[in-house]
Structure 1
Amino acid sequence: MADSPNGRSNFWTQANALLRKNLIFQKRNIKTNIQLIAFPFILCLLLVLIQTLVNNQLDKPSNRCGCTCVDTNGDGQCERTCGIEYSTLDQAFTCSIPHPPQWPPLLQIPAPQYRAVRTNFISYGDLPDDSCRRTGSCPATMLITGNNQTFGQSLARNMFARPFNVNFSDFLNSLADDVLGSSSMTQYTNFLEPALASNFPVDFLQPQCASNSQFSVPLQLGSVTVQKDVRCVQGLHLWRNSSSEINDELYKGYRRGNPERNINEIVAAYDFMNSNENLFNVSIWYNSTYKNDTGNHPLGFTRVPRSVNLASNTYLQLLLGPATQMLFEFVKEMPKPETEIRLDFSSLLGPLFFTWVILKQFPVVLTALVYEKQHRLRIMMKMHGLGDGPYWMISYAYFLAISLIYMLCFVIFGSAIGLKFFTLNDYSIQFVFYFLYINLQIALAFLVADLFSNVKTATVAGYIIVFGTGLLGGFLFQFFLEDSSFPKAGIIAMELYPGFSLYRGLYEFSQYSFNGNYMGTPGMRWKDLSNSDNGMREVLIIIAVEWIVVLGVAYYADQVVSSGKSPLFFLQKNQKNLSSSFRKPSLERQGSKVFVQMEKLDVEQEREKVEQLLLESSTSHSIICDNLKKIYPGRDGNPEKVAVRGLSLALPQGECFGMLGPNGAGKTSFINMMIGLIKPSSGTAYVQGLDILTDMDRIYTSMGVCPQHDLLWETLTGREHLLFYGRLKNLKGDSLTQAVEESLKSVNLFHGGVADKQAGKYSGGMKRRLSVAISLIGDPKVVYMDEPSTGLDPASRNMLWKVVKRAKQNRAIILTTHSMEEAEHLCDRLGIFVDGSLQCIGNPKEVFILL
């Protein structure tokens, strides 16, 4: 696509200019970039350091499988032998267990103080009152229901009718005939039964308990002998009329707020439904409130098998007699090799820490965008011809490249130091996840930037979002993720917040890497995304969809908020080029004759000239202002402010028009309307035949602006500023170099290394001269200068005047000033601007005579 013949730069020329400027800007901020990249490096090193210190503690002999010296040959020479039989309870977890021990099957029985009693909420008369809790004698309750009450109660009576029988010389193996239970919490594995290895007593259920039905037996656990208390507990089976009654009672008997855990007061419940002598059909409720809720927990470790055995056994005994028994001797774990205790902190803490690492890019992008907005650099670039398309494409690609480099360094460094979070999970899944999220994050930054106009405010808000999201993810969102009862729809709804979708993805990576490190298996692979427990697939879909939606909304908001377009701009048809024919005088202008008659003759003649020019098919006038007005609405009880009152002005090519007036007269408001910073309240203006209301983007390509306040990048040099704006004006190669050097020389910024000095180190006068040079580079057809000589010493001011006088020969210039000397020296015509309107207009001598 070639540049247009009238000298306007095309899309790719503008994109190239912005890209070059961004690369220079990035090069100047290399120190900041190093500090940014150092953050994840330091965090990863901190994780490795903590992990090393903890693993050193875990490697101590007290935490490894126990060993002793054994004389195997009887020759007095001993060999060091290790095993669970030589280990303490703390060491046993790490030992090789080729033959796991056998443990008696148990029921989960609530502790005495938490067993079911009659209360205001549970008013069944067959429950004991709460006085039994004070004495610790409350029975362990089972609930029974079914279609046949007689049959169901007969089955229930057989559940623990056999007398307690134990062989103290072989305590564990003799317990298979007895109904045992415990209030201890179950574990992930069953290599060591917590009911036997803890301080909790073992309970045996009987219809009635004798007064001396509690005793203690020695129990050998590895190399340790413990005294285990065994006590009788009354087993109470109660009939309920339906399963819904049981559900209601179980719900009301669920105790919340216990300092250790939430528990249920009922041992188990059985619905024998339509069971009879020819059919056995039963549903079982089991007590799972004593299990550890993190991770997978097999049903065997929630003490379900004994409940199933009780129901099956009692049915056989009812049919075949009490001598019949389905013996349930033991439960045992699978064999396992020796286990080395290792904690992978990158997986344990990864979701929280790495959420902070990735989100840290958000305030960086946000502040860069708000900086351009606050210092009006975006509008300055736009006024010199940079279109929205090139700006969005290059800015987005620029931030994406920085974010990709940041994430690449993060993953490479984490992998290099051996963090399992990175090394075990498939790198292709990680790339897709990080790539999608950083795109969403950049789109969010573009959208949120429209809400801020101050860099400090945006920075504070950005970092609050970073740390707040991490903390909420770690201490709120993760709680819901690990709660199996929380609905999946609720999780998906929470993941619509981008920070939580990021946290969920990192959480999935951490779970797979932690389990892979513990089990010696690979981490997450693509096939794992089809697992119903893996939330990565839904996260990827949510992030991808949100990226597209947020990017579209951000672009729309930018067009409406920053560019000042109508909210329905996408429905408006392109306006015709008005270079061939202007609009007819408006009814509003025709109806303002009363106001015209009050104007002075010279101002009235200028208005009539404008009306005549608008009726002509062509004109040599570069600027025509048609009854331009600007009214600021009243605020806080103050009346509205009329800044510009129906200004009509015609300016031919080759003329410099000066506007004089006191502060607050409306000069800057007029300039801001002409350069597109604010919209007129009514009226319009035509620049090179283009309407400022509809064709401002096209006007920018042939316009130069020297604003009242210098809009410069602090880290770019004077030469780099001019190179950038020269490229926007379609200057290339030698023409660009020559134009830049001539501009620098004309404003006395070429010699002494000043041209290659950063603008942030310029004096106020040097910045002003650079702003004038920027406004004139690229041969713009129309130039606006708002008090260009402010802050200049006499020598610099005289030199600047020479530059402006040379420049006005082939362009139209509007210049505002407080200096009559400057106006007389530069301007072909002057207008005195007071209280928003022209008081007189003419050449400098005529105006000064009137004054």
Structure 2
Amino acid sequence: MEVTSGFALLFQQFSALLRKNLLLSWRNRKATLLQVLSPLFFMFLIFAIDKAIKAQYSNTTYYKSVPEPPLRPSPSIPPCENKFFVKLPCYDFVWSGDRNPRIRTIVEAIMNNNPGRTIPPSKVKSFSDKAAVDEWLLNNPMHCPGALHFVERSKTIISYGLQTNSTYVQKRGKYEDPTFAFQLPLQLAAEREIARNLIGDSNFSWNVFLREFAHPATAPFSTVSSVGPTFFLAIAMFNFVLQMSSLVTEKELKLRQAMTMMGLYDSAYWLSWLIWEAFITLLSSLLVVLFGMMFQFRFFLKNDFLVVFFVFFLFELSMTGLAFMLSAFISKSSSATTVGFSIFIVGFVTQLVIQAGFPYSDSISKTFRIIWSFFPPNPFAQALHILSEAVSTSEDHGIRWSKRGQCGPEDEGCVITINDIYQWLLATFVLWFVLAIYFDNIIPNASGVRKSMLYFLNPNYWMGRGGQNVKEGGVCSCCIVSVPRQEHVTPDDQDVLEEQNTVKRQITEGVVDANVAVQIRGLAKTYPGSCNIGCCCKCKRTKPYNAVKFGYFSVCFVFQFGNIVGLLYNLLLRETDSFLDDVQCAVLELFQDLWVNFERDQLFCLLGPNGAGKTTVINCLTGITPATDGDALIYGHSIRSSTGMSNIQKLIGVCPQFDILWDALSGEEHLQLFATIKGLTPSSINSITQTSLAEVRLTDSAKVRAGSYSGGMKRRLSVAISLIGDPKLVVLDEPTTGMDPITRRHVWDIIENAKRGRAIVLTTHSMEEADILSDRIGIMAKGKLRCIGTAIRLKSRFGTGFIANISFYGNNVESRTDNRDAVSTVHHEAVKQFFKNHLDVVPKEENNNFITFVIPHDKEGLLTNFFAELQDREEEFGISDIQLGLTTLEEVFLNIAKQAELESAAADGTLVTLTLTSGESVQIPIGARFVGIPETESEEYPTGVMVEVYWEQDESGALCISGHSQKVPVPSGVRLSSSASARHRRNSRRPGSVHGVIIDPSQVSSVRFQ
């Protein structure tokens, strides 16, 4: 099959990922439309605020040029109800001096002659003196807007005083000026009536007019300058959060990991996201400027279009780089919103600081300004400030494109220009993007994979070499150490040992077997625990990485100069194998010392309970997780080499344990995407996609989104993805989970046909699936390969023996039912007695139509004559059919798992509680079959009693007790008391508990359990 490579493949992958981003945006078009039109929403908010502010000042001349102000008549005393926040009952005014008749006359004249409205007596309150007024005002706040105090000095002199509440208040956006609303009317009224009283003419004309000072128009309030920066930052943060969420979502759902396993270049991945987000940023910035011009903001109309556009574009581009960088630290997409809001708050605060003139002035050090400018909202806020100042009045013309590198004529303390800000935003974008790639490599991903902090200094990284020099490491406060090489352990099983010797012999002799697709050479995987360094601390090891480590550095407080030199020498110049030989590390071994060949045109099935290490082996082979020790060659390429793994990922197809799919993409689009990533030629992709869909019976659902698929359909799609592009190695991790029996059989046929020309590695919990599909089977338990071989060999070696199914004639007697039942019973009893007499076995299962016997392996020599005689007596026993076969693969699996649990329990001292039917509780090791009950010796049972314990696997694959036999006497050669006492002493940490005695099966061969 023709495939592309090199730069052509890079471009092809980039195009496919760009199309994927476009499809996802289109499928989620409501969110995309909201993202694109968010500038319109925020611009409309700015426009609404601007209109509201202008409406508030529409009745004032503050923003108007007034060369000849008009005359205004003097205002009358308003009703007290007009005052904001007045309390009822209220008074228009209060006065003092009511004991003087002349003063009383003046006040009555004020009330009667008030222009436009006579003040009733109930709205005026009098007092004898000023002190009484003050006392009343204090006791009755907000009941009166003002007070008049009159004093008659002589017949020609009357003095008055004015007392008003001078507090400015606001209500529903309107301000109340107490001077013009209440003080001035009271003052004019008092002076008018005092003058008339003194001259004795009540009709004396007293006309006072008001006129404001002539003044030019004050520069109008700029909404864009004041509230615009906050909304412009909100526009960028809206895109920022969505960009970060998109990246984190693909990482969280392991979608990127799935593409990487299929051969995706990191450069294609980052380039596709960069171009896509740059396009969204370009569109958003363009709409910001166009919407600003549409709403007729002077900020956008008077400054050159390109000047404003590049401010917004480069700022949002820099924020995109920051989003890429921060996504490396975030593992949950839900956290992106929190991070985005936090950055918005910080940006808002720094904007307020910048509007106050800090720190872009010559009074602040240049070093501080440089540090301040690394945060993109800061230079952006300064750019908005400069552009706003350039259009602060209607006579200003803004900043021209040719003048972008110059300071304004009135900006004496200018230290940064628009052009400088362009350079800063572009430089910070490059910085954040480079840091995004760097942190993406050195921060452990979900599988614990990371590179060295100095990986970019290693020439092998750039040249794609690495070989066997890969080391694991972690960072701590004292040093970095590698996991010690695993010691070789000789396998207990002869077949596993033979497989190991075969691989080693091929390596030693340099034999290249053309039939071997995958050769695993002592592969091991451990996860770290705590390391006692022996200098000043205990290290907590981090998860490993999968690239060559070139150098290490850390900080350790030591006191001797020689120690410092030795530390730097070992860390920077030498291999860590020779560093600190006294390091003690506790590690978790997932699997160890694995030696095995996977041959072409064959399916190797890897079985084992949960936690056995199967998936970890697959992760090591596919590059998800680095191996701690050993190596594996896949078609000659090493998994320990960066170039080797790059080549391997082009050759393999993977069906992961859990479906990794985009809910918004259809099955057809998934296959097209992965076919493109694998490098298939564009002309062949459609035909291959349709063929793959037909093979997994998804043709009718090809256009349906994967999110609408059932669990079985998703598994079929994952299987199809793993086979796309004719991979030479196919890894299937539980591929038929969730499928109905008919579909499962069909997928089995697909897998069987896929063997031709490739090697297949299968893991499954279905023993039937393993039995039907596998050419060879390996069973792992507790991180070790316990056995290997064909299904027949494993059954013959690890099964309990042979299964004999005896079927009887059911309807050959034409008599009454009672007679038939009697005859059937006779036949059954005769057959059971025959098996008992010749083979000493009892039925395992029995019903009216058949009986099943389990025949131990040690009876194999008797079977030929036994079954010959049984066939001769078929008619006598009423036998219709005799079937003989090996025990099931499930029984082999359980035996292996049980033995591993026994070994682990013996090593760890793990015990479980067996509750007998009598209510007694006995502590026994996991997997123990024959258990003696201590302190049960009696006259009837001088040696005590024992039971056979039955085991099964729970949903997690761990062994658990399913039941036990009835109590039977312990054979005479077995003693319980001394063993029980010893065991009880060893487990003294559990006072009062009874510990069962493990009895070897060879000692109870004559015991019959029921």
- TM-score, normalised via structure 2 length: 0.54
What amino acid does structure 2 have at the position aligned with 1:51? D
**2-side partners of 1:492 and 1:482: how far apart?**
10
Q: Is the Cα–Cα contact under 8 Å of residues 285 and 309 in structure 2 kept in the other structure?
A: no
Of the three residues 705, 709, 715, the one matched with 2:658 is 709
Report the more deviating stretch, 523-532 or 716-725. Answer: 523-532
Shift of 1:793: 1.2
Shift of 1:9: 6.6
Of the three residues 482, 499, 514, the one matched with 1:606 is 499
Q: Is the Cα–Cα contact under 8 Å of residues 261 and 624 in structure 2 kept in the other structure?
A: no
Shift of 1:784: 0.9
Name 2:141's counterpart in structure 1.
Answer: none
Of the three residues 335, 358, 364, the one matched with 1:487 is 364
Change (3 A) 1:343 1:66: closer
**1-side partners of 2:504 and 2:626: how far apart?**
22
Shift of 1:378: 0.8
The 3-state SS of whatever aligns with 2:653 is strand
Name 1:595's counterpart in structure 2.
Answer: 489
**2-side partners of 1:778 and 1:65: how far apart?**
75
Name 1:352's counterpart in structure 2.
Answer: 230
Unaligned residue ranges in structure 1 (runs of 5+): 68-81, 90-196, 198-220, 227-334
Of the three residues 398, 410, 430, the one matched with 2:308 is 430
Name 1:408's counterpart in structure 2.
Answer: 286
Q: Is the Cα–Cα contact under 8 Å of residues 254 and 660 in structure 2 kept in the other structure?
A: yes
**2-side partners of 1:61 and 1:432: how far apart?**
38
Name 1:476's counterpart in structure 2.
Answer: 353
Shift of 1:424: 1.7
Name 2:50's counterpart in structure 1.
Answer: 51
Q: Map residues 713-724 of structure 1 onto 2, 5 A cutoff.
A: 713-724=662-673
Q: Is the Cα–Cα contact under 8 Å of residues 486 and 629 in structure 2 kept in the other structure?
A: no
Name 1:555's counterpart in structure 2.
Answer: 437
Moved over 6 A (4+): 2-9, 64-67, 482-485, 575-579, 591-594, 635-638
Name 2:68's counterpart in structure 1.
Answer: 83
Q: Is the Cα–Cα contact under 8 Å of residues 653 and 721 in structure 2 kept in the other structure?
A: yes
What amino acid does structure 2 have at the position aligned with 1:625? I
Shift of 1:6: 8.3
Of the three residues 707, 731, 740, the one matched with 2:680 is 731
Shift of 1:777: 0.5
What amino acid does structure 2 have at the position aligned with 1:706? C
Q: Is the Cα–Cα contact under 8 Å of residues 603 and 760 in structure 2 kept in the other structure?
A: yes
Q: Map residues 782-801 of structure 1 onto 2, 5 A cutoff.
A: 782-801=729-748
What amino acid does structure 1 have at the position aligned with 2:349? L
Of the three residues 547, 565, 570, the one matched with 2:451 is 565
Q: Map residues 216-231 of structure 1 onto 2, 5 A cutoff.
A: 223-224=210-211
**1-side partners of 2:463 and 2:360: how far apart?**
64
Change (3 A) 1:486 1:66: closer
Report the more deviating stretch, 562-571 or 630-639. Answer: 630-639
What amino acid does structure 2 have at the position aligned with 1:521? H
Q: Is the Cα–Cα contact under 8 Å of residues 350 and 510 in structure 1 kept in the other structure?
A: no
- Count of matched residue positions in the alignment of Structure 1 and Structure 2: 591
1:527 aligns with 2:397: no
Q: Is the Cα–Cα contact under 8 Å of residues 36 and 283 in structure 2 kept in the other structure?
A: no
Change (3 A) 1:617 1:543: farther
Q: Is the Cα–Cα contact under 8 Å of residues 66 and 87 in structure 1 kept in the other structure?
A: no
What amino acid does structure 1 have at the position aligned with 2:55? N
Unaligned residue ranges in structure 2 (runs of 5+): 75-179, 181-207, 408-412, 472-481, 531-539, 542-584, 799-891, 893-1010
The alignment-based identity, stated in percent, is: 31
Q: Is the Cα–Cα contact under 8 Å of residues 220 and 393 in structure 2 kept in the other structure?
A: no
Name 1:444's counterpart in structure 2.
Answer: 322
1:809 aligns with 2:756: yes
What amino acid does structure 1 have at the position aligned with 2:499? E
The CA deviation string for residues 697-747 of structure 1, in whole angstroms up to 9 with x for no partner, is 221111111111111111000110001111122223452122111111111
The 3-state SS of whatever aligns with 2:355 is helix
**2-side partners of 1:619 and 1:503: how far apart?**
67
Q: Is the Cα–Cα contact under 8 Å of residues 625 and 649 in structure 1 kept in the other structure?
A: yes
**1-side partners of 2:685 and 2:519: how far apart?**
31
**2-side partners of 1:622 and 1:539: how far apart?**
57
What amino acid does structure 1 have at the position aligned with 2:34? Q
Shift of 1:748: 1.4
**1-side partners of 2:464 and 2:493: how far apart?**
30
Quote the RMSD (CA, aligned, Å): 3.8
Q: Is the Cα–Cα contact under 8 Å of residues 676 and 682 in structure 2 kept in the other structure?
A: no
What amino acid does structure 1 have at the position aligned with 2:26? K
What amino acid does structure 2 have at the position aligned with 1:729? K
**2-side partners of 1:775 and 1:63: how far apart?**
74
Q: Map residues 6-25 of structure 1 onto 2, 5 A cutoff.
A: 10-25=9-24
Change (3 A) 1:387 1:576: closer
The 3-state SS of whatever aligns with 1:618 is coil
Name 1:367's counterpart in structure 2.
Answer: 245
Of the three residues 386, 409, 412, the one matched with 1:508 is 386
Change (3 A) 1:412 1:594: closer
The 3-state SS of whatever aligns with 2:390 is helix
Change (3 A) 1:602 1:87: farther
The 3-state SS of whatever aligns with 2:229 is helix
Change (3 A) 1:225 1:770: closer
Change (3 A) 1:84 1:709: same
The 3-state SS of whatever aligns with 1:756 is coil
Q: Is the Cα–Cα contact under 8 Å of residues 4 and 679 in structure 2 kept in the other structure?
A: no
The answer to which structure, 1 or 2, has the higher relative contact order (CA under 8 A, 6+ apart) is 1
The CA deviation string for residues 487-536 of structure 1, in whole angstroms up to 9 with x for no partner, is 153444322222212222222222223x143x343346542532152543
Name 1:382's counterpart in structure 2.
Answer: 260
Q: Is the Cα–Cα contact under 8 Å of residues 622 and 652 in structure 1 kept in the other structure?
A: yes
Name 1:837's counterpart in structure 2.
Answer: 784
Q: Is the Cα–Cα contact under 8 Å of residues 39 and 284 in structure 2 kept in the other structure?
A: no
Shift of 1:405: 1.0
**2-side partners of 1:438 and 1:42: how far apart?**
17
Change (3 A) 1:49 1:806: same
**1-side partners of 2:728 and 2:627: how far apart?**
22
Name 2:332's counterpart in structure 1.
Answer: 454
**2-side partners of 1:540 and 1:440: how far apart?**
10
Name 1:178's counterpart in structure 2.
Answer: none
**1-side partners of 2:418 and 2:349: how far apart?**
19
The 3-state SS of whatever aligns with 2:699 is coil
- TM-score, normalised via structure 1 length: 0.64
**1-side partners of 2:53 and 2:464: how far apart?**
76
The 3-state SS of whatever aligns with 2:664 is coil
Report the more deviating stretch, 503-512 or 5-14. Answer: 5-14
Change (3 A) 1:801 1:574: same
**2-side partners of 1:479 and 1:542: how far apart?**
21
